[in-house]
Amino acid sequence: MIERLVHWSRVKSPWVLHLNAGGGCNGCDIEILAALMPRFDLERFGVQLKGTPRHADVMICTGAITLQNRDRVLRIYEQVPDPKFVVAAGACAMAGCVYRGSYHTLVGIDQLLPVNAYVPGCPFRPAALIDAVVKLLNSVK
């Protein structure tokens, strides 16, 4: 019973953590914020942006992981309680974008963390992020 309640609330109101892995241009970060703003209003799906990893269910990662930030990203990932989901948002998080071949970034978040959903685009449109979140929630159901 409790389990079902937890599951239901997880699907109906996922709390997200927005994590900038460092090696991006923050175009994607701004688009995530734009998705939460009145025009796109991601919050109507119950999504709420959270500040600490311990409150989050879904981690939205933008940007490629820089070597200096690598351990921090791992630590933040470990702090998210199970079951956790990772969304790799933007070309940087997916495959390194223009920074491919740089000496200081990893080629994509999935080199370090298991990823549940990818949002392509440099940057993606806010609508694409909404689509990804809805698809992720449907797959969890």
Partner 1 sequence: MEYKVSLGPQHPALHEAVSLRMTLDGEVIRDADLKLGYSHRGIEKLAEERSYIQNIYLTERICGICSHSHTTCFTQGVEQLMELVPARRGLFIRTLIAELERVHSHLLWLGVAGQEAGFESFFMYTWRDREVVLDILEWISGNRVHYAMNIFGGVRRDIDELQRKKILDSLDLLKKRTDYYLNLAASEPTFVGRLAGVGKLSREDAIALCAVGPTLRASGIASDVRKDDPYAVYGEIPFEVATADSCDVLGRAVVRVKELISSYAMIEFLLKNLPEGPFKVKAPRKVKPNEVYSRYEAPRGENVHYIKSNGSDKPERLKVRAPTLANYPATIAMLKKGFIADIPLIFAAIDPCICCAERLVQLDDARRGDSRVLSFSQLRSMANERAKKIDFKKRKIAWPF
Site for ligand SF4, rule CB under 6 A: 24-25, 27-28, 62-63, 90-92, 97, 122-123
- What are the CA-CA distances from residue 60 to residues 1, 32, 33, 63 (Å)? 29, 9, 12, 10
Does 108 sit near partner 1 (CB under 8 A)?
no
- Residue 111, judged by CB atoms within 10 A of its CB (0-12, 13-18, 19+), counts as middle
Neighbours of 60 (CB within 10 A): 28
Of the candidate residues 23, 58, 87, 89, the single one contacting partner 1 (CB under 8 A): 23
Does 69 sit near partner 1 (CB under 8 A)?
yes
Alpha carbon 69 to chain centroid, angstroms? 16
> Which CB atom, from 68 or from 139, has the smaller least distance to partner 1?
68
> Which CB atom, from 10 or from 130, has the smaller least distance to ligand SF4?
130
* 17: partner contacted, choices partner 1, ligand SF4, none (Cβ within 5-8 A by kind): partner 1
- What are the CA-CA distances from residue 119 to residues 61, 68, 79, 96 (Å)? 10, 24, 23, 13
Which residues lie near partner 1 (CB under 8 A)?
Answer: 17-20, 22-31, 33-34, 36-39, 49-52, 63-64, 66, 68-69, 72, 76, 97-99, 101-105, 122-123, 125
